[in-house]
Structure 1
């Protein structure tokens, strides 16, 4: 009686391939801390790491974390500013670049915050805030 060789059985759940570890593309505080701990674990006991160098590396870690936090805060601030600017357009006549690249004018009637860029409703079209090129103040047709 012929037999078939046994292969990997991934779809039945009996065995699963080893997870593939993806290398980090960004240096963050955990990578920095792992490097520091590895350095401490592998140092020569007869010649320990210089205390000043350790303090310097710890200071660099703290600075990196603060810079990362500042970048995050800045991005959040930009989002709030965009939302406020978009809300301030409601009821005003604006000019914008239409999808075909031409200039169009209309009155902003609503704002949507679903995506990363606020969408301003002008007539029947939803226009990204960054496509608006001008504001005249008074609604058109009044």
Structure 2
């Protein structure tokens, strides 16, 4: 009797791989659906060409909307980085995790994570926690 190894992606009862559900409808899935629809259509009553054109237009619109969304995300990320870089040398007011506020001069910025981290008084402060910016007092 052989015993099959059970991996984290297999069904414990049957030993068959468990399929992960697709959470988004991309162009590949759309094309697979269209090809399957054409493959199993009734030869006596083929698919209406108007429906096929409408589905092609929907695919094109979906791809353009995805491109637009990606572009908007990239633009927002660039704006956050630019804003964070311009803060360096300025006095900032920020909210601490405990709800109190703090102030200090921004000395550097880190872009390692999704939200830029501004270093103030040795603390790494997320950009979205900064509530005010002013020029430091002249010495």
TM-score normalised by L of structure 2: 0.88
Aligned-residue offset at 1:99: 2.4
Aligned-residue offset at 1:19: 2.7
Aligned to 1:14: none
Structure 1 regions of 5+ residues with no counterpart?
A: 1-5, 12-16
Give structure 1 regions of 4+ aligned residues with deviation exceeding 3 angstroms: none
Per-residue CA deviation, residues 71-124 of structure 1 (Å, 9 max, x unaligned), is 111111110000000000000001000122111110000000000000000011
Say which SS state the counterpart of residue 64 (structure 1) adopts: helix
Q: Distance in 1 between matches of 2:138 and 2:81?
A: 26
Matched, 1:23 2:31: no
Matched, 1:124 2:119: no
Q: Distance in 1 between matches of 2:70 and 2:53?
A: 26
Q: Distance in 1 between matches of 2:98 and 2:45?
A: 69
Aligned-residue offset at 1:55: 0.6
Say which SS state the counterpart of residue 17 (structure 2) adopts: coil
- The answer on whether the counterparts of 1:94 and 1:134 sit within 8 Å (CA) in structure 2 is yes
Say which SS state the counterpart of residue 135 (structure 1) adopts: strand
- Classify 1:9/1:141 alpha carbon distance in 2 versus 1 (closer, same or farther; 3 Å): farther
Say which SS state the counterpart of residue 87 (structure 2) adopts: coil
Aligned length: 131
Aligned-residue offset at 1:32: 1.1
Matched, 1:88 2:83: no
Aligned to 2:74: 76
Aligned match for 1:8, one of 3, 11, 15: 3
Aligned to 2:136: 139
The alignment's C-alpha RMSD in Å is 1.5
Per-residue CA deviation, residues 34-76 of structure 1 (Å, 9 max, x unaligned), is 1111110011111111111101100000000110111111111
